[in-house]
């Protein structure tokens, strides 16, 4: 059966579910995301946020439901193919090849993300130039020759984003981009995200740091027990009684809720 989605939606989820035995990790999510939106996803630990990202990005097979990207059903398509189709993703655990340099990491993304599926890394001058220009944009050019295992966490996180966006994805999924960062580093990341948002990239991120979520996102989604319990403005979360009771607690008062 050919499934087609709404042309207005960049990403559409229809009754998406992931069940592990009796555990309903993701339990029937319906969602439409338009091009250019910036969406922050919150919710208590174990709510199903990362599993939901895994279903969208092809890392885990759905138990039921459909995910459509640009109107095309993408359930069952491998993550690297989705990357070539314009969907990029980063992970909660800061990743990267620790034994390679910052430049070599970026080159891997530039070459492998280009859609060329032949084995091996054939590097050209253009690949290096593209890599260095992207590193410069993220303030990483000066450490291009450092081993990734030796650079600070903030720079590793920036490199993860820079590698993900080097091919200008239509949608970027970020799993806890500022987890573990200091307040000043979070500020730096906020600026980086606002800059990316300004270029029209659709950004969907999972984040527990509410200051980051409310500053960067123009739409907030809250998950609880595999379901979406809130879909609205970021400031509106603080006034939502269910969101307050299962997730925000006293933080809702600090955010200006009742």
- Measured between alpha carbons, how far is 23 from 242 in angstroms, rounded to an integer? 22
Contact flag: residue 97 with ligand ATP (CB under 6 A): no
Token pair recorded at residue 92:
């909660």
Of the pair 20, 97, the CB lying nearest ligand ATP is at 20
- Measured between alpha carbons, how far is 233 from 109 in angstroms, rounded to an integer? 34
Q: Is-contact 92 180, C-beta < 8 A?
A: no
Of the pair 56, 186, the CB lying nearest ligand ATP is at 56
What does residue 225 show for φ and ψ, rounded to 5 degrees? Answer: 50, 45
Applying CB under 6 A, what is the total number of residues that bind ligand ATP?
A: 11
Task: Of 12, 3, 4, give the one whose Cα is nearest residue 202.
Answer: 12
Q: Which residues in the 13-32 window bind ligand ATP by CB under 6 A?
A: 20, 23, 25
Strand ranges inside 117-183, DSSP E = 171-175
Determine the interface stretch with ligand ATP among 5-13, 47-55, 62-70, 145-153 (rule: CB under 6 A): 47-55
Of the pair 202, 209, the CB lying nearest ligand ATP is at 209
Least Cβ distance, residue 240 to ligand ATP (angstroms): 18
Of the pair 23, 61, the CB lying nearest ligand ATP is at 23
Least Cβ distance, residue 44 to ligand ATP (angstroms): 7
Among 2, 7, 45, 117, binds ligand ATP (CB under 6 A): 45
Among 29, 38, 50, 173, binds ligand ATP (CB under 6 A): 50
- Measured between alpha carbons, how far is 60 from 54 in angstroms, rounded to an integer? 5
- DSSP letter (8 states) at residue 257: -
Distance of CA 156 to the CA centre of its chain: 15
Among 16, 31, 33, 47, binds ligand ATP (CB under 6 A): 47
Token pair recorded at residue 154:
């903030």
Residue numbers at the binding site for ligand ATP (CB under 6 A) = 20, 23, 25, 43, 45-51
């Amino acid at each position: 059966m050919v499934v087609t989605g709404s042309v207005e939606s960049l990403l559409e989820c229809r009754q998406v579910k992931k069940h592990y035995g009796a555990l309903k990790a993701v339990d029937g999510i319906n969602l439409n995301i338009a091009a250019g939106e910036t969406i922050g996803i919150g919710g208590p630990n174990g709510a199903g946020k990362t599993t939901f990202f895994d279903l969208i990005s092809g890392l885990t097979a759905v138990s039921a439901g459909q995910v459509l990207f640009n109107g095309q059903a993408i359930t069952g398509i491998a993550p690297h193919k989705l990357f070539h189709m314009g969907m990029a993703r980063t992970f909660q655990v800061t990743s990267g090849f620790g034994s390679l340099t910052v430049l070599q990491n970026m080159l891997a993304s530039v070459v492998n993300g280009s859609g060329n599926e032949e084995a091996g890394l054939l590097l050209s001058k253009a690949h290096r130039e593209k890599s260095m220009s992207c590193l410069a944009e993220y303030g990483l050019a000066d450490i291009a020759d450092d081993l990734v295992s030796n650079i600070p966490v903030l720079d590793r996180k920036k490199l993860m984003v820079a590698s993900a966006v080097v091919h200008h994805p239509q949608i970027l999924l970020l799993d806890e981009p500022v987890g573990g960062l200091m307040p000043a580093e979070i500020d730096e990341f906020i600026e980086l995200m606002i800059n990316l948002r300004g270029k029209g990239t659709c950004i969907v991120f999972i984040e527990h740091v509410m200051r980051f979520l409310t500053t960067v996102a123009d739409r907030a989604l809250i998950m609880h027990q595999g379901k979406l319990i809130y879909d609205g403005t970021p400031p509106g979360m603080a006034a939502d009684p269910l969101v307050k009771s299962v997730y925000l607690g006293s933080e809702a008062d600090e955010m200006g809720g009742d």
